Structure 1
Amino acid sequence: MHEKMNGNDTIFWKKVNLSNWIEQKEQDVNRAFLFGDGLFETMVFQNGKIRFANLHLERLLTGCQVLGMNTEQLSPIEEIERALKLGFGEDKVLRVRWTIYRSGKGKYTPLTDEIEESLQIEDFHAAPLTKQSAFVHPEIYLSSSPWSSCKTLNALPYVIANRDRVKLGMEEVILLGQGSFVSEAGAANLFWVKSGVFYTPSLGTGCIEGIGRSVIIDLLKSKGIEIQEGYFRLDDMYEASSVFISNVTGISYLLTLEGKTLGQERFVMIEQLFEFDNIY
């Protein structure tokens, strides 16, 4: 059993011998490191379970298929849960990054489609309920591709966008896609509400198919609430009664965008999706 982690600690585990997870002090040089040739899932472990486990696995399997990676040796979610319970107990709430990358070295051309896996574990911190300031990045535009909706290791647009966000003293950054359509936030999907209708950018804008996004869309459809996925302009957000972002850690309402005050309507039923007692 690990001793209590400090808030900024990260423990790195790697899977070996197809069955055991071991703590690793240094990362190997691999195709994830060399080429970003892989995928990852950011997950929340609570009450001995991975929250939204089936959605994480479904997205990961889809991503592996798109990238042509063999999933026969992919760890079952239940195995990861058992390892985390053994290492940290059931009461610990953790943020877990599950990384899957193509095995072997090679150059751009892979030598195999087999996979390797690693886990990075740290204390969980919920998304803040509100973010005071947001801006639209003037230079970074997301593009659509067969893998743009997957959570790949090629994250440079988000890295640079968030670096610039910090330099500007902002709490959030909004990214546009091709054609200057609204796409997503720096590490989250976008939603807004007008006249009782929810809106979110289409995956065709280049945004990631987030787990939080999927959970929210499923909830709205189950309640008979209209949700439109499409290609929208910034003006649509300014006219909304509420603008919020979502990822697996929760939702955050945006209070201002480019210095303009946004609508402040809240949606408790959506907030509750990400509470710890929810076993969705």
Structure 2
Amino acid sequence: MNENSTHSFFKNTKGFWEETPKEFHNRGFLFGDGLFETMVFENNMIRFSDYHQERLVMGCATLQLNTSQLSDIAEIERLLINNGFQGVSKRIRWNVYRSGQGKYTPVENGIQETLQISAFSMANPLKSKAAFSSTFRVPSTIWSHCKTINGLHYVMANLERIEKSLDEIILLNDKGYVSEAGSSNIFWEIEGVFYTPSLESSCIAGVSRRVILEKLKDLGKKVGEGIFLKTDLMQAERVFTSNVTGICMIENIEGNTFKTSGLPPELFMLFK
């Protein structure tokens, strides 16, 4: 197999994984009616596997999807090993969408699943130039914390990032509070206290966000989850983002410069 190519698997109605899709015009494609997990496969295991499984199940409950036939992580790990991916690091996207057709109104609440396996790269450790989006906001919904297939506000925000020659873009929610970055959660530090927007800010319930918060508390660090204004973040000494690929320091946001070293090394080790 070419290690840089993307490989796909599709789970059929009998519960077997195949490399050929049975239906292209599914509800995920037509309506964005589903969820996904982005995961790292390394040392023949999926990193933070329990947290990914838990988040996906919770997301399915929010979207009223029946999870009785949902795969578990161990099954996906076996599939990867049996198809020649053992001993390599891969980025795995696990897509779960509502089965059946219908129009906006679903005719059933079962699930279908696909996997996309691609090359994995660690996070860029430093992003030099960031700014707040002046055009797009994260909408507040009961599924804002879920990783839904419909991510147009992230797509459009990252187009704005490219147009403005930024390395990172930061999003506010529709009430004007800090929510998240273009593809990651955001944290900042002020006088030894670490802050991050709460889920009430419409940010994604990131797996990396969860493990970082747990590690900070294990280290005895003070942590503040809450609703914050842009001015709160701009008072920070350090700002960093996190997603499945790791932690990235932000050097400058709209002319404000931040420290890019000094984070507890234990945070970076979470992603090694």
* Common fold: TM-score over 0.5: yes
Q: Say whether residues 1:151 and 2:147 are aligned partners.
A: yes
| Aligned residue among 120, 134, 142 for 1:138 | 134
| Aligned residue among 244, 268, 271 for 1:271 | 268
SS in 2 for 1:149: coil
Q: Which runs of 5+ in 2 are unaligned?
A: none
Could you state the TM-score of these two structures normalised by the residue count of structure 2? 0.96
SS in 2 for 1:78: helix
2:3 alignment partner in structure 1: 5
| Aligned residue among 115, 119, 124 for 2:115 | 119
Could you state the TM-score of these two structures normalised by the residue count of structure 1? 0.93
| Aligned residue among 63, 68, 72 for 2:64 | 68
Q: How many residues align?
A: 271
Query: What does the per-residue CA deviation read over 1:38-97, in whole Å, with 9 as the maximum and x for residues that have no partner?
Result: 000000000110100000000000000010000000011111000001113321100000
- Rounded to whole Å, the distance in 1 between the matches of 2:39 and 2:245 is 8
Deviates more, 1:114-123 or 1:252-261: 252-261
SS in 1 for 2:66: coil
Contact 2:39/2:47 (8 A) holds in 1: yes
| Aligned residue among 80, 86, 89 for 2:85 | 89
CA displacement at 1:144 relative to structure 2: 2.0
Contact 1:99/1:118 (8 A) holds in 2: yes
CA displacement at 1:22 relative to structure 2: 1.7
1:19 alignment partner in structure 2: 15
Q: Say whether residues 1:225 and 2:221 are aligned partners.
A: yes
- Rounded to whole Å, the distance in 1 between the matches of 2:147 and 2:16 is 25
Contact 1:241/1:264 (8 A) holds in 2: no
Deviates more, 1:221-230 or 1:71-80: 221-230
Sequence identity percentage: 45
Q: Which runs of 5+ in 1 are unaligned?
A: 276-280
CA RMSD of aligned residues (A): 1.4
SS in 1 for 2:270: helix
